[in-house]
Amino acid sequence: MYPFTEGSYAPRNGWYVAAFRNEIGDDLLSRWILNQPVVMYRKDDGTAVAVEGRCPHRHFPLGASKRVGDAIQCGYHGITFDAAGKCTFVPSQEKIPGVYTIRSYPLVERGLWAWIWPGDPAKADESLIPTLAEIGFEIEGIYAKPFYAHDVDGRYQLLNDNLLDLSHLGYLHGTSIGTTDDAATPEERDVTDRRVSSRRVMRNTPPTPAVRAKHAIEGLVDRVSGMEFYFPGFHAGIGEVRLPEGHERAGELINFSRVWHAVTPAKTFTTNYFFAMGSTDRQGVDDMVEYLKPVLAEDMFATVEIEKIVQTLDDLPPELMLKSDGTAVLGRRILQRMMDREREEARLARSTP
């Protein structure tokens, strides 16, 4: 499936953000994740859990069902499953068939997020979750806040592509968070087995409209803009603005922010998109909630419109790549490799007696 090979949808063995932690409470929270209905809730002891959202009896949505203690009672025929996915009650018979279970997903709360592992639970290694240190969440004095959770009508990779190529900042977001220097400046790239990092350092560059609206800046600034893509679906961004060489307070940090985008496949052509922000400037973060709404709407507009074109065209021509697509191409290649490996493992598992 575009932009991956035929039959490739999304890696399953990886940590995705399933929800902001503050979305998970006593009530059942339903969400599609990698084409599976999932239900999340917080047990009486406060632990957040995620289980399959489909009753195996008649496919009724467990997210539209009823919580009974720490268990979910199917809203259709009353079959009940505990938080580990084990059936604990069948209203019509004493004996509970051994096959009566639903999937229980590894779910880890870290930072603002609840991370889910949709694949083989035996492989769910928590050390693969981005650490709070590496995503800038432990910076002294940082104030982090979940902004928006959206269900976007477009396939997830369009949002990853968006975040893997910040040359769009000065165009899609030219009236707010970017300038034409974002695209004009070459990026530095760094790859590890956990993430791809890209960064642009702009010196003596105009401030973005957003920064200009906030600070009484005359003249040019130095800017750093970067994004780190933790596979398979988390992007940690950095933005820094300093007074440039020559200024009397040269080098002074006048604006600093961290942004966190989580991109989680929902259904084949829809995506769960979580955006959060942090800064040492608490007021600055609170002010951005409204300011960034239209900016995120621009990204979602691009995603939805491209999805329409991709779905309508019979023969979608291959994209014409530019040098600035290097990071996005790399990101796609890494996800493709994860999917290829999973397919190969599944093939081997089937052929092994």
Nearest CA-CA partner of 115 in 248, 229, 232, 257: 232
Q: Strands 188-191, 195-205: parallel, antiparallel or unpaired by DSSP?
A: antiparallel
Please select the residue that binds a copy of itself; options are 122, 133, 320, 348, rule is CB under 8 A. Answer: 320
> CA–CA distance from 232 to each of 79, 188, 305, 336 (Å)?
35, 21, 23, 10
What region, left, alpha or beta, does residue 11 occupy, with left being phi > 0 and alpha being psi -120 to 50 degrees?
beta
- 73 near a copy of itself, judged by CB under 8 A: yes
Query: Per CB under 8 A, which of residues 5..34 are in contact with a copy of itself?
Result: 32
- 213 near a copy of itself, judged by CB under 8 A: no
What 3-state class would DSSP assign to 238?
A: strand
Nearer to a copy of itself, 281 or 325 (CB): 325
Nearer to a copy of itself, 152 or 183 (CB): 183
Indicate the DSSP class of residue 243. P
Please select the residue that binds a copy of itself; options are 160, 198, 205, 324, rule is CB under 8 A. Answer: 324
Nearer to a copy of itself, 167 or 208 (CB): 167
Which amino acid is residue 332, in one-letter code?
R
Indicate the DSSP class of residue 121. G
Nearer to a copy of itself, 16 or 115 (CB): 16
- 136 near a copy of itself, judged by CB under 8 A: no
Find the helix or strand (DSSP H, E) in which 41 lies: strand 36-42
- Residue pair 132/138 in contact by the 8 Å Cβ criterion: yes
Task: Give the binding-site size for a copy of itself (rule: CB under 8 A).
Answer: 55
Q: Give me the residues that bind a copy of itself (CB under 8 A), please.
A: 32, 35-37, 54, 56-61, 64, 73-79, 90-93, 97, 99-100, 161, 165, 167-168, 170-172, 180, 183-184, 267, 301-302, 305-306, 309-310, 312-314, 316-317, 319-325
